[in-house]
Amino acid sequence: MMGKPGNDQKGIIPRSLEQIFKTSRFLESQGWNYSMQASMLEIYNETIRDLLAPGRSNSFESSKQCTIKHDPHGNIVSDLTIIDVFGIADVTSLLEKASQSRSVGKTQMNEQSSRSHFVFTLKISGSNENTGQNVQGVLNLIDLAGSERLAKSGSTGDRLKETQSINKSLSALSDVIFAIAKGDDHVPFRNSKLTYLLQPCLGGDSKALMFVNISPEASSVGETICSLRFASRVNACEIGIPRRHT
């Protein structure tokens, strides 16, 4: 999602943000003015941690932990740090801070393995001085921790607990998506912090896009087939019709 430094290796997150700020500047000539706010969090072992909290520590025990609350406008994260951003430089600085605070670890499958789900949220409010129109939108960019088979990951102790938590939350995400695809009356959003947080993104008038990364290694053929089957089922899922919010 983040990619590497350099124009050719930028990830989805920096490319998306560059496009948003470029478009907002272009629309100024048509009377539009935009304000944007960013927040970043990780879901680690079913605990939500604010990656932009003042005095943020890499220590799990001393990190500020947040909870999900439901209100008429959807699910919100309590006490989450939200920062006004005015350009790509502001967001880049925040992403670097969040990256340094994110939980990573080494397994037999990955030298640097993300041990948490990363959620970047950009809230956008726009007003047009010519027409009086007001619009609002929310963009969530999510870097999911990779699913690893316990036997191959070589995880023990804390790493084993992390891997089990990651796989459980990804399984919960699958259950939610398939329940939506089947049109079930009950969708198990509350089975994990990840799906409960993403509930507004996976229903109603939202639009969701998923990228599935697969390994080219022959030793990973089993995981690759499972990932492609999952992607195929997700592709057949209709979650709603996106609408403009004014």
Residue 61 lies in a domain: yes
- Assess if residue 246 is contained within a domain: no
> How confident is the prediction along the chain (246 residues), in pLDDT tens digits per residue?
887 767 778 889 999 999 999 999 999 999 999 999 999 999 999 999 999 998 755 555 555 679 998 877 778 899 999 999 999 999 999 999 998 888 664 444 444 456 789 999 999 999 999 999 999 999 999 999 887 665 565 656 777 888 888 889 988 998 998 898 888 899 999 999 999 999 988 877 788 888 888 888 898 898 889 889 888 888 877 776 666 655
Q: What is the dihedral of CA 225, 162, 173, 52, to 10 degrees?
A: -120
Assess if residue 172 is contained within a domain.
yes
Give the whole-angstrom CA distance, residue 50 versus residue 48: 7
pLDDT, residue 107, reads 46
Q: What is the CATH number of the domain that holds 20?
A: 3.40.850.10
In a domain, 106, yes or no: yes
Using an 8 Å Cβ cutoff, are 224 and 205 in contact? no
- Residue 41 near residue 80, CB atoms below 8 Å: yes
Whole domain around residue 100: which residue ranges? 7-235
Domain count, the chain: 1
Q: Is residue 243 part of a domain?
A: no
Residue 16 lies in a domain: yes
Residue 157, domain member (yes or no): yes
Q: What is the pTM of this model?
A: 0.85
What pLDDT score does 111 carry?
Answer: 46
Strands, E, within the chain: which ranges?
32-44, 47-50, 65-66, 68-71, 74-77, 83-85, 104-105, 113-114, 117-128, 134-143
pLDDT at 59: 53
Residue 242 within a domain: no
Q: How far apart are CA 128 and CA 57, in angstroms?
A: 41
> What per-residue confidence (pLDDT) applies to 101?
82
Tokens of 24: 């907002």
